């Protein structure tokens, strides 16, 4: 099939490349001329394992191409995926201006039947809104479909190619059949529902996973009080197949482009619908509070933060990505610099992105050992495998007393670290 994907961010670029990989003719469209120029030259704007190889291979096969003009490529398209950003507004709602702009452009230029696919994460009711915008300009036949993405940054290509499920929200049998044809090469579970149900599935899924994270973080905080180890608790819980082990990893909270935005958006949807989603409000509150625990522990162990040399390992919101959106590490660094600390930091992929948004008081290093030199406290803020493999005996020799180690992702062994001379503090690993 001939498919156009509007937007070349995490979702759009992965979708376009993978749709080409499964045999379709895919064209990715973006108004950013520099980005499209770079993509045509094989330069990928994001760090995502495996994506560069897929893009280069599919461009070489001529199944994947790029354009800055939706109008120029719309006629040839049978299906148009809308994968533009829906950032969170100040009030917590999803900002739909980019989705609406694409819908208007489609309406002004469409000439025959097409399936328009909302791939962006959008509130319930957006499918109808997009339909109304297109219909304002085009009186012919078309369908709008909701096809939410469930991609994890760091494993997005694999998630697209081997999905847990493919959700298709369609208002007509014709649109449903077209979408089943799009995904026919992927022999995985496909469910067809109403557009509104598909839109809700996305928000509900992410909100539930965020709830699991906030729940285990609350359990971790109790573990610190009663001298239990949350890693053991989570392992015992996860063996119950009704619960499962995923997203029961205690730490300094969730971040990224999806969870914070989607949880807040669902809370707003509930509010505007007249429903008080108390559980979701608690999930949000716990996540904010969890980041501040690192500050509290540092203040307790250092007596004061001002002028203290502190190293933060990790800037990305999670491992295997360079995305710093809603990153707990970034929030912690901003709080520490606001309190007058002298921050050194290292991240294998996200440093350049962080430099663009950081003010003074932060020194960036290309080597993790250099970053830890002379620091009195070390905060592990991102679960990069590299950080687990560091020579912590060497790290201890480079640091200054009191050699505080805040393991914000619980990737290190407490007793091993203490034997090396660290004042080790994990999240829910028991009393000091």
Q: 94-116: per-residue pLDDT in tens? A: 889 999 999 999 999 999 999 99
> Does the fold of domain 226-425 match that of domain 2-193?
yes
Q: 339-356: per-residue pLDDT in tens? A: 999 999 999 999 999 998
18 is catalytic: no
65 pLDDT above the threshold of 80: yes
Contacts made by residues 44-49, CB under 8 angstroms, sequence distance 24+: 44/13, 45/8, 45/13, 46/9, 46/10, 46/13, 46/321, 46/322, 46/323, 47/321, 47/322, 47/349, 47/350, 48/10, 48/14, 48/153, 48/154, 48/156, 48/157, 48/321, 49/154, 49/155, 49/157, 49/320
Task: Select which of 18, 28, 223, 258 is catalytic.
Answer: 258
Q: What's the confidence (pLDDT) of residue 94? A: 81
Q: pTM for the whole thing?
A: 0.89
Q: What's the confidence (pLDDT) of residue 92? A: 76
Q: Which CATH number fits domain 226-425: 3.30.450.20, 3.40.350.10, 2.40.50.140, 3.40.50.720?
A: 3.40.50.720
Q: 376-413: per-residue pLDDT in tens? A: 999 999 999 999 999 999 999 999 999 999 999 999 99
In DSSP notation, 292-344 reads HHHHHHHHHHHS--TT-EEEEE--SSSTT----TT-HHHHHHHHHHHTT-EEE
281 pLDDT above the threshold of 70: yes
**Domain spanning 2-193: which superfamily?**
NAD(P)-binding Rossmann-like Domain (3.40.50.720)
Q: What's the confidence (pLDDT) of residue 121? A: 85
Return the domain boundaries, the chain.
2-193, 226-425
Q: What's the confidence (pLDDT) of residue 361? A: 78
Q: What's the confidence (pLDDT) of residue 396? A: 97
Question: What is the pLDDT averaged over residues 25-30?
Answer: 97
432 pLDDT above the threshold of 80: no
Q: 227-257: per-residue pLDDT in tens? A: 999 999 999 999 999 999 999 999 999 998 8
359 pLDDT above the threshold of 80: no
Question: What is the pLDDT averaged over residues 276-303?
Answer: 94
Residues 6 or more apart whose Cβ sits within 8 Å of residue 53: none
Q: What percent of the chain has pLDDT over 70?
A: 100
């Amino acid at each position: 099939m001939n498919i156009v994907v509007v937007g070349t961010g995490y979702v759009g670029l992965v979708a376009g490349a993978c749709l080409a990989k499964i045999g379709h003719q895919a064209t990715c469209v973006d108004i950013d001329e520099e980005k499209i120029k770079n993509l045509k030259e094989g330069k990928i704007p994001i760090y995502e394992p495996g994506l560069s190889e897929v893009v280069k291979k599919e461009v070489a096969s001529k199944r994947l191409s790029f354009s800055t003009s939706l109008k120029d490529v719309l006629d040839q398209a049978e299906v148009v995926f809308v994968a533009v950003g829906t950032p969170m507004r100040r009030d917590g709602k999803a900002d739909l201006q980019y989705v609406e702009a694409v819908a208007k452009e489609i309406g002004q230029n469409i000439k025959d039947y097409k399936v328009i696919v909302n791939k962006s994460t959008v509130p319930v009711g957006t499918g109808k809104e997009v339909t109304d915008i297109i219909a304002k300009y085009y009186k012919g036949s078309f369908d709008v479909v909701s096809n939410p993405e469930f991609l994890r940054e760091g494993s997005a290509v694999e998630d697209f190619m081997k999905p847990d499920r493919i959700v298709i929200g369609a208002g007509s049998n014709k649109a449903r059949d077209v979408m089943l044809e799009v995904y026919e090469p992927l022999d995985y579970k496909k469910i067809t529902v109403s557009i509104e149900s598909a839109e809700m599935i996305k928000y509900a899924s992410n909100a539930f996973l965020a709830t699991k994270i906030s729940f285990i973080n609350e359990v971790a905080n109790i573990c610190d009080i009663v001298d239990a180890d949350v890693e053991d608790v989570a392992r015992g819980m996860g063996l119950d197949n009704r619960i499962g082990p995923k997203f029961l990893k205690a730490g300094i909270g969730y971040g990224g482009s999806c969870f914070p935005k989607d949880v807040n958006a669902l809370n707003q949807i509930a509010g505007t619908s007249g429903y008080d989603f108390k559980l979701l409000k608690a999930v949000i509150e716990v996540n904010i509070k969890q980041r501040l625990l690192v500050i509290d522990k540092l203040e307790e162990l250092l007596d004061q933060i001002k002028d203290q040399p502190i190293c933060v390992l990790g800037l990305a919101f999670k491992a295997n990505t360079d995305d710093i959106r809603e990153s707990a590490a970034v929030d912690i660094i901003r709080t520490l610099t606001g309190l007058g600390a002298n921050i050194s930091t290292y991240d294998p992929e996200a440093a350049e992105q962080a430099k663009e948004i950081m003010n003074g008081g932060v020194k960036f290093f290309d080597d993790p050992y250099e970053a830890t030199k002379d620091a009195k406290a070390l905060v592990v803020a991102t679960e990069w495998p590299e950080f687990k493999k560091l020579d912590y005996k060497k790290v201890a020799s480079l640091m200054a007393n009191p050699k505080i180690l805040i393991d914000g992702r619980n990737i290190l062994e407490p007793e091993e670290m203490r034997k090396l001379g660290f004042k080790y503090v994990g999240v829910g690993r028991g009393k000091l």
